[in-house]
């Protein structure tokens, strides 16, 4: 049997005080786990790609002549409807995966794995941020897989440098939506409630946004209330940020709203997971 | 390798059967003022592995814990004995930082759980009552996940290999956790809790769902950890026989600290022949305890 001194060789970073190295390892742990689980769940990968593809190939193809899109920024010319909906569909890839991470948090809480995460010797804010980053990396992978599908169908997108320019915009939007997912996971007590809660998050956010049609069309058609709701939807600005970035333009308003929403959502989620103050403390687990 | 595993288990059984020397600091009670440094503890760390002082916790109007104090010395096996609803799980949630006490103080190796949570948690190993392995990951991936969460870096691989060999599961390292039996899953959870070389090991009713042989092996193995690695162990259980071989038994009942002492001391104090009867006498929960003990 090994002696005590042998077991004390190689002091963990949690004891030596190097919090940056420790946080990076935690990020690696969470990213690896999310990626391995994602790759094991082939159905999830398939549905992550099929969902936006159906919108692109069926909905957009069917409505291409109904929804005429005039020349609006960031476009400098008339575009096909299928080209218009791509940023919105990228947004829904990010939105669904952000919510999927939320589902994973609820599942982990039910399965007990959450305890393992929350008892790691790192501040909860760091752990939750690592969790958020890990989920967002996965979102970005899926977004680029969707770009590959767009390429397969020869859509007239600004491939270069559009794909590269879209990366920071998708990353920021992915973080904001993932943070919203973390916040939602604070308040969903059981996995059975997840689907219901999602109906109040995913679909309103998606439809009350410029994902499928420009917002001015809502205004023009007299749907003022819907238009105003869409203006207060952070997802609206996430899509705008991606749409402008793809065409090499910066939409500062969208960037500001997305960044501010990220700070608010993450701050509330960290507050919610704080054992001293947040909502999670009220959930007694066992006697 | 199988022989080595057998030696480990057998050693544990022998250790558990013949009893062990009283652990250092056994008689020190309940106040953090008794926490001091000693030659057996790493430089700058307290001799006590775990110290709990006057801890209270309520859920709404229900007082789950009321001014509970206890301590565990390095190398000491302390059984926390109480019927269901005694407050054991609540206490463990506070000890692991999942929740914060309404009042009182918790220290792990001298580090305050509230003020120095990172240092305290780094010295804490936990086996939860509820299984916490990710069943979709392999055994080694589960251990690696934990090692990274503890920031163990490159040293993790060797420790993972050593712990797996110690529990005799090296050949199952790449199997998914889902493929393991309940007993082996528990062993992996124990190996995981030991990866970062904790000063104190919290075992929250770890034998739930195990067959008698696996239970006995687990208890014996944890006893051997106290002896050979100097780990302080707080073992929560409602099964009196698991507490028999402990260095010290703490009885918790309805959120209150009732008594502490060796099994012999508790028997003597209550005038009973067995620890089980002493427990019944101290708690007055004869029907519940009888049902649980059976």
Predicted confidence at residue B43, as pLDDT, reads 53
Residue B25: inside a domain: yes
Q: List the strands of the sheet with B48-59, edge to edge.
A: B62-73, B48-59, B103-108, B111-112
Instruction: Find where tokens 């770009």 sit.
Output: A147
A119 touches chain B (CB under 8 A): yes
- Domain CATH for B26: 3.40.50.300
- What number is the average pLDDT over the span A119-140? 93
Judge if B190 and B236 occupy the same domain.
no
Q: Which domain holds residue B150?
A: 134-197
**Chain A residues close to B122, C-beta within 8 Å:** 12, 14-15, 121
Q: In terms of DSSP bridges, do strands B124-127 and B200-204 run parallel, antiparallel, or are they unpaired?
A: parallel
Predicted confidence at residue A68, as pLDDT, reads 59
Residue B128: inside a domain: no
Among the three residues B158, B179, B197, which one is the final residue of a domain in this structure?
B197
Judge if B256 and B277 occupy the same domain.
yes
Q: List the strands of the sheet with B256-261, edge to edge.
A: B124-127, B200-204, B232-237, B77-81, B248-253, B256-261
CA B169 to chain A, closest CA, distance in angstroms equals 16
Residue B162: inside a domain: yes
Judge if B45 and B160 occupy the same domain.
no
Q: What is the C-alpha separation between B34 and B232, in angstroms, rounded?
A: 16
pLDDT at B101 over 60: yes
Judge if B113 and B44 occupy the same domain.
yes
CA B266 to chain A, closest CA, distance in angstroms equals 25
Best residue in B151, B152, B200, B292 for a mutation probing chain A (most A CBs within 10 Å): B151
Shortest CA distance from B94: residue in chain A? A275
Predicted confidence at residue B32, as pLDDT, reads 36
Q: ipTM, 2 decimals?
A: 0.82
pTM of the model: 0.81
Kind plus residue range of the DSSP H or E element containing B148? helix B139-149
**Chain A residues close to B89, C-beta within 8 Å:** 285-287
**Chain A residues close to B206, C-beta within 8 Å:** none
Judge if B144 and B283 occupy the same domain.
no
Judge if B257 and B221 occupy the same domain.
yes
Integer angstrom CA distances of residue A123 from A23, B97, B100: 9, 11, 14
Judge if B46 and B76 occupy the same domain.
yes
Instruction: Find where tokens 């712990």 sit.
Output: B163
Judge if B116 and B87 occupy the same domain.
yes
Contacting B residues, span 156-185, partner chain A, CB-CB under 8 Å: 158-159, 162, 166
Predicted confidence at residue A216, as pLDDT, reads 80
Residues B72, B9: contact at Cβ < 8 Å?
no
Among the three residues B143, B170, B197, which one is the final residue of a domain in this structure?
B197
A4 touches chain B (CB under 8 A): yes
Residues B146, B195: contact at Cβ < 8 Å?
yes
**Chain A residues close to B93, C-beta within 8 Å:** 285-286
**Chain B residues close to A112, C-beta within 8 Å:** 128, 130-132
pLDDT at A162 over 90: no
CA A121 to chain B, closest CA, distance in angstroms equals 4
Helices (H), A41-123: 42-54, 60-63, 81-111, 113-118
DSSP B21: P
B264 touches chain A (CB under 8 A): no
B59 with A284: Cβ contact below 8 A: yes
**Chain B residues close to A18, C-beta within 8 Å:** 151
Which range has the worst mean pLDDT, A105-109, B37-41, B60-64, B233-237?
B37-41
Q: Given pLDDT bands bounded at 50, 70 and 90, which one contains residue B232?
A: very high
Supply the DSSP string of B172-241, one letter for each residue: GTTSBGGGS-HHHHHHHHHHHHHTT--SEEEEESTTTT--HHHHHHHHHHHHHHHHHH--EEEEEES-HH
CA B42 to chain A, closest CA, distance in angstroms equals 10
Judge if B191 and B206 occupy the same domain.
no
The model's pLDDT over A174-194, given as tens digits with 9 standing for 90+, comes to: 999 999 999 988 888 777 777
The model's pLDDT over B144-190, given as tens digits with 9 standing for 90+, comes to: 999 999 999 888 999 999 999 998 999 999 999 999 988 899 999 99
A43 touches chain B (CB under 8 A): no
Best residue in A10, A19, A134 for a mutation probing chain B (most B CBs within 10 Å): A10
A277 touches chain B (CB under 8 A): no
Judge if B6 and B150 occupy the same domain.
no
Q: What is the C-alpha separation between A125 and A148, in angstroms, rounded?
A: 35
Highest mean pLDDT out of A67-76, A209-218, A263-272, B85-94 = A263-272
Q: Which residues contact A113 (CB under 8 A, 6 or more apart)?
A: B132, B134
A113 with B132: Cβ contact below 8 A: yes
Residue B129: inside a domain: no
Of B11, B151, B224, the CB nearest to A12: B151
Q: What is the C-alpha separation between A84 and B44, in angstroms, rounded?
A: 64
Judge if B53 and B73 occupy the same domain.
yes
Residue among B133, B223, B221, B143 nearest B181 (CA): B133
**Chain A residues close to B98, C-beta within 8 Å:** 115, 118-119, 275, 285
Residue B158: inside a domain: yes
Judge if B111 and B217 occupy the same domain.
yes
A115 with B132: Cβ contact below 8 A: yes
Q: What is the C-alpha separation between A164 and A168, in angstroms, rounded?
A: 8
B98 with A28: Cβ contact below 8 A: no
Predicted confidence at residue B107, as pLDDT, reads 96
A76 touches chain B (CB under 8 A): no
Give me the number of domains chain B comprises. Answer: 2
Q: Given pLDDT bands bounded at 50, 70 and 90, which one contains residue A11?
A: low
Of B42, B122, B158, the CB nearest to A14: B122
Helices (H), chain A: 4-7, 13-16, 19-40, 42-54, 60-63, 81-111, 113-118, 124-152, 159-187, 194-199, 202-207, 215-220, 224-231, 234-246, 252-273
B253 touches chain A (CB under 8 A): no
pLDDT at B51 over 50: yes
């Amino acid at each position: 049997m090994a002696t005590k001194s042998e077991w004390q060789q190689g002091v963990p970073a949690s004891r030596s005080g190097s919090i940056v190295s420790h946080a990076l390892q935690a990020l690696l742990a969470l990213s690896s786990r999310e990626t391995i689980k994602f790759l094991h769940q082939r159905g999830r990968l398939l549905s992550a790609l099929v969902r936006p593809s159906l919108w692109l190939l069926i909905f957009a193809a069917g409505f291409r002549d109904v929804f005429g899109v005039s020349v609006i920024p960031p476009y400098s010319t008339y575009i096909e409807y299928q080209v218009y909906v791509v940023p919105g569909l990228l947004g829904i890839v990010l939105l669904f995966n952000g919510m999927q991470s939320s589902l994973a948090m609820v599942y982990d809480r039910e399965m007990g794995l959450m305890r393992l995460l929350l008892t790691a010797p790192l501040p909860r804010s760091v752990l939750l941020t690592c969790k958020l980053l890990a989920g967002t990396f996965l979102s970005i992978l899926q977004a680029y897989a969707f770009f590959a599908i767009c390429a397969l169908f020869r859509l007239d997108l600004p491939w270069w440098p559009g794909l590269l320019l879209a990366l920071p915009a998708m990353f920021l939007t992915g973080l904001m939506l993932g943070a919203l997912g973390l916040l939602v996971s604070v308040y969903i007590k059981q996995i059975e409630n997840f689907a219901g809660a999602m109906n109040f998050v995913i679909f309103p956010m998606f439809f009350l946004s410029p994902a499928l049609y420009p917002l001015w069309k809502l205004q023009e058609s007299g749907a003022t209330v819907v238009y105003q709701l869409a203006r207060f939807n952070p997802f609206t600005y996430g899509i705008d940020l991606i749409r402008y970035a793809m065409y090499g333009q910066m939409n500062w308003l969208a960037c500001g709203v997305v960044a501010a929403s990220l700070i608010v959502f993450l701050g509330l989620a960290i507050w919610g997971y704080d054992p001293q103050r947040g909502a999670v403390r009220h959930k007694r687990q066992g006697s | 390798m199988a022989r080595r595993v057998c030696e480990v288990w057998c050693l544990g059984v022998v250790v558990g059967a013949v009893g062990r020397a009283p652990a250092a600091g056994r008689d020190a009670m309940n106040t953090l003022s008794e926490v001091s440094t000693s030659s057996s503890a790493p430089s700058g760390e307290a001799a006590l592995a775990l110290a709990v002082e006057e801890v209270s916790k309520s859920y709404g109007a229900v007082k789950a814990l009321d001014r509970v104090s206890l301590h565990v010395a390095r190398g000491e096996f302390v059984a926390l004995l109480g019927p269901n609803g005694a407050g054991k799980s609540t206490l463990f949630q506070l000890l692991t930082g999942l929740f914060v006490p309404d009042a009182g103080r918790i220290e792990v190796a001298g580090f305050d759980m509230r003020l120095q949570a990172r240092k305290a948690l780094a010295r804490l190993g936990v086996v939860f009552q509820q299984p916490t392995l990710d069943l979709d990951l392999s055994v080694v991936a589960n251990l690696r996940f934990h090692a990274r969460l503890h920031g163990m870096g490159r040293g993790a691989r060797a420790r993972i290999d050593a712990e797996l060999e110690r529990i005799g599961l090296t050949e199952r390292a790449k199997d998914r956790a889902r493929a393991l039996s309940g007993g082996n899953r528990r062993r992996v959870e124990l190996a995981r809790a030991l990866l970062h070389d904790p000063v104190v090991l919290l075992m929250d009713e770890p034998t739930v769902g195990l067959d008698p042989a696996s239970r006995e092996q687990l208890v014996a193995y944890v006893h051997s950890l106290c002896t050979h690695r100097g780990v302080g162990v707080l073992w929560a259980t409602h099964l009196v026989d698991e507490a028999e071989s402990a260095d010290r038994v703490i009885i918790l009942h309805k959120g209150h600290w009732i008594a502490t002492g060796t099994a012999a001391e508790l028997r003597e104090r209550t005038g009973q022949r067995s620890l089980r009867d002493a427990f019944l006498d101290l708690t007055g929960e004869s029907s519940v305890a009888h049902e649980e003990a059976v």
